[in-house]
Amino acid sequence: MEFEAWWLLIIPLLFSLGWFAARLENRDNKSRQGQLPASYFKGVNFLLSEQPDKAIDAFLEVASVDTNTVELHFALANLFRKKGEIDRAIRVHQFLTSREQIQGADRERATYELGVDFLRAGILDRAENAFCSLANTDLKAEAARQLLELYELEKAWDRAIEQAHILRQFGAEVPVGDIAHFYCELASQELEAGKAEQARQHLENALETEPSSVRASLMLGEIYFAQGAFEEAIDQWRNAERQNPWYLPLVGPKMWEAYVRLDRRQAGFAAIQDYCRKYPSIDLLLVLVKAAEDLQGASAAFELLRDEVRSRPSLLGLDKLLEHQLKGGMDDDRGQDLRLTRELIAKHTQRLERYRCQSCGFQARKFYWQCPGCASWDSIVPRRAEELDFYPVS
């Protein structure tokens, strides 16, 4: 292969081209760095120095210069919200919604996030306005779900029902059981206002929406009971047994009273005794003990309670057993010892007789259909905490 002299010219030419390209790239990098305003670096410095107030002001100044930093502001606002600093998150999102140079999609997103901020802060009217303004945007489904949560907080159950149907039209999953609860809440409001017929209509709507709504059946039974229609009340509660028998303790005392009003004590005692055998519950057991005392006397009631506590030991049952045993007015040393024992057990059972949410662990003495802790429906089982620990129910 022969060597030609002009090849010597190629080497310096290639070297010159490489050097020129490197200079261009370096100049472009410096140009891009120069586009970042000093406020951006000041904001980062403030964050590192744990001065969030000054940092947010600096970053807001960045957005007034360069709209390419919008994602930075969304990230900052979400960080503030997670830390519980809702007022700062509101400031960021309000700034984004007010900037004319921000694109429509980012503005809608900022409006949605601002609505979430208001909702978390409890400013419900402004949250509602923010979500309603997104009805004709790509975020309409997400806004509708937030509106549903908002109406639940406001206890605006008629609007919650409407919003739930809108969500279902969007293809979102809204349990029909939740909608049935909304109707039941409306029925409760009507009952408080003394409007039994309107309440009945809401409960029928609940059963039409969700035929297995045990709450609607229990409430219908209570309406019949209040009106003196005791046979109809018992029928409704038996229907609740077919839907979910573990909720029977909620109406056990009224069920026994309905049998008493009908002068069918033996039938009532047999029915409650059957329930206790099939669906053991300390609350149903106490109803059965009362029924036994009414029918057969205090001695028979005590024997029944003792046998049940022996077969299903529990501190709650033992506490009630000691309470019955002390009704006889024991004044000797043995009675004093029993009183002391019962006092100690009673203090311990205060936390065991609470209802517990199966989703978040919230506990309360009162039964709730919607957990006050996590707002879940039907997550609280109508059985005491001790019973769930020792005798779990699916």
What three-state secondary structure class fits 60? Answer: helix
Scanning the structure block, which residue is given the tokens 């002068």? 263
> Which residues are CB-neighbours of 103 under 8 A, at least 6 positions away?
67
In degrees rounded to 5, what are phi and psi of residue 338?
Answer: -65, -40
Which pLDDT score, from 0 to 100, does residue 29 have?
A: 45
pLDDT for 4 beyond 60 = no
The answer to whether the annotation marks 357 as part of a ligand binding site is yes
Q: CA-CA distances (angstroms) from residue 48 to 75, 78, 363?
A: 16, 18, 41
Which pLDDT score, from 0 to 100, does residue 265 have?
A: 94
In degrees rounded to 5, what are phi and psi of residue 49?
Answer: -90, 10
- pLDDT, average across residues 120-138: 92
pLDDT for 31 beyond 50 = no
Do the Cβ atoms of 338 and 331 come closer than 8 Å?
no
Buried b (16+ CB within 10 A) or exposed e, 151-167: bbeeebbebbbebbebb
Mean residue pLDDT of the chain comes to 82
- H/E element holding 167? helix 157-169
Strand ranges (E), the chain: 355-356, 363-364
Which pLDDT score, from 0 to 100, does residue 32 have?
A: 44
pLDDT confidence band for 72 (50 / 70 / 90): confident
pLDDT for 90 beyond 50 = yes
- pLDDT, average across residues 218-240: 94
Interhelix angle 298-311/282-296, nearest 10 degrees = 150
Percentage of the chain lying above the pLDDT 70 cut: 79
What residue segments make up the domains of the chain, in order of their start? 175-229, 354-394
- pLDDT, average across residues 300-320: 81
- pLDDT, average across residues 137-145: 92
- DSSP string over 241-265: HHH-GGGGGGTHHHHHHHHHHTT-H
- pLDDT, average across residues 349-362: 83
pLDDT confidence band for 152 (50 / 70 / 90): very high
Write down the pTM of the prediction.
Answer: 0.77
Which pLDDT score, from 0 to 100, does residue 249 have?
A: 92
> Which residues are CB-neighbours of 376 under 8 A, at least 6 positions away?
357, 359, 360, 370
pLDDT for 33 beyond 50 = no
Which pLDDT score, from 0 to 100, does residue 125 have?
A: 93
CA atoms within 13 A on the CB side of 385: 16
Q: Between 374 and 32, whose confidence is greater? A: 374
Q: Between 350 and 207, whose confidence is greater? A: 207
- pLDDT, average across residues 148-167: 93
pLDDT confidence band for 186 (50 / 70 / 90): very high
- pLDDT, average across residues 188-208: 95
Which pLDDT score, from 0 to 100, does residue 30 have?
A: 43
- Most confident segment among 60-64, 231-235, 309-313: 231-235
Q: Which amino acid is at 208?
A: E
What three-state secondary structure class fits 145? Answer: helix
- pLDDT, average across residues 157-175: 89
Q: CA-CA distances (angstroms) from residue 296 to 161, 239, 258, 288?
A: 49, 29, 19, 12
- Cα angle at 109 between 106 and 111, to 5 degrees? 110
- Total residues belonging to the chain: 394
Q: Which amino acid is at 378?
A: D
How far apart (Å, rounded) are the C-alpha atoms in residues 67 and 19? 35
Scanning the structure block, which residue is given the tokens 């029915």? 271
pLDDT confidence band for 224 (50 / 70 / 90): very high
How many helical (H) and strand (E) elements, i.e. helices and strands, does the chain have? Answer: 20, 2
- What's the CATH class of domain 175-229? mainly alpha
Which pLDDT score, from 0 to 100, does residue 46 have?
A: 72
pLDDT for 155 beyond 60 = yes
- Most confident segment among 108-117, 312-321, 325-334, 378-387: 108-117
Whose CA is closest to 290, among 312, 315, 314, 272? 272
Quote the tokens at residue 138: 């790509």
Which pLDDT score, from 0 to 100, does residue 170 have?
A: 85
pLDDT for 63 beyond 50 = yes
